[in-house]
């Protein structure tokens, strides 16, 4: 039986693979490896439809929530999910005593539900926004606005997307 002969390039590549495998094993011990595996499985690759409650719970907590005062505008049919135009108008005097502090744009299906967060205040003058968002397929989009008193108002709209974005988790 003839011993296998490696070229210099193959030997260096094998050495690098061995060193890299050993260093990763040292850097990522048991619990850390499990966390990395869990992130890979359930993190950005999770693009399922969420319920309304799942979408708003991290922001609203136990505050009052009303469907009023917010006008969300998206096309009913978006040909391309990479650049869907979105505009938003919120009825608020935007005074020091009463104003909108935060606006959250939340996606029902995107791998990362929070598409955008805007910080507003009396200095904004008015609570009108216009942007473009990426959408991963047919879904509901929620515009959630936090008032200066801590309560929330919202609007929601369904969008049909013919060519989904976010499939590359980017």
Whether 33 shows a pLDDT value over 50: the answer reads: no
86 and 152 part of one domain: yes
167 falls within a domain: no
Give CB contacts under 8 A, 24+ apart, made by 58-63. Answer: 59/104, 59/106, 59/144, 59/146, 59/152, 60/144, 60/152, 63/150, 63/151, 63/152
33 and 69 part of one domain: no
Q: Give the tens place of pLDDT for each residue, 84-135.
A: 999 999 999 999 999 999 999 999 999 899 999 999 999 999 999 999 999 9
18 and 66 part of one domain: no
38 and 60 part of one domain: no
17 and 67 part of one domain: no
Number of domains in the chain: 2
3 falls within a domain: no
Least confident interval from 4-8, 36-40, 86-90? 36-40
Whether 24 shows a pLDDT value over 50: the answer reads: yes
pLDDT of residue 21: 64
Q: What rounded mean pLDDT belongs to the chain? A: 83
169 falls within a domain: no
Residue ranges making up the domain that contains 24: 8-42
Query: Strand, helix or coil at 165?
Result: coil
60 falls within a domain: yes
């Amino acid at each position: 039986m003839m011993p296998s002969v490696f070229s210099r390039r193959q030997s260096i590549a094998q050495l690098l693979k061995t060193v890299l495998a050993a260093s990763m094993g040292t850097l990522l011990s048991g619990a850390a490896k499990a966390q990395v595996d869990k992130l890979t499985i359930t993190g950005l690759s999770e693009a399922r439809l969420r319920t309304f409650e799942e979408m708003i719970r991290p922001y609203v907590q136990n505050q009052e929530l009303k469907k009023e005062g917010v006008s969300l505008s998206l096309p009913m049919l978006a040909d391309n999910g990479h650049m869907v135009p979105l505009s938003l108008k919120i009825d608020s005097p935007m005074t020091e005593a009463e104003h909108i502090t935060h606006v959250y744009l939340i996606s029902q299906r995107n791998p990362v539900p929070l598409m955008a967060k805007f910080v507003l205040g009396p200095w904004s003058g008015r609570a009108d926004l216009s942007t473009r968002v990426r959408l991963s397929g047919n879904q509901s989009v929620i515009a959630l606005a936090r008032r200066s008193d801590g309560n929330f108002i919202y609007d929601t709209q369904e969008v049909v997307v013919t060519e989904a974005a976010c499939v590359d988790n980017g």
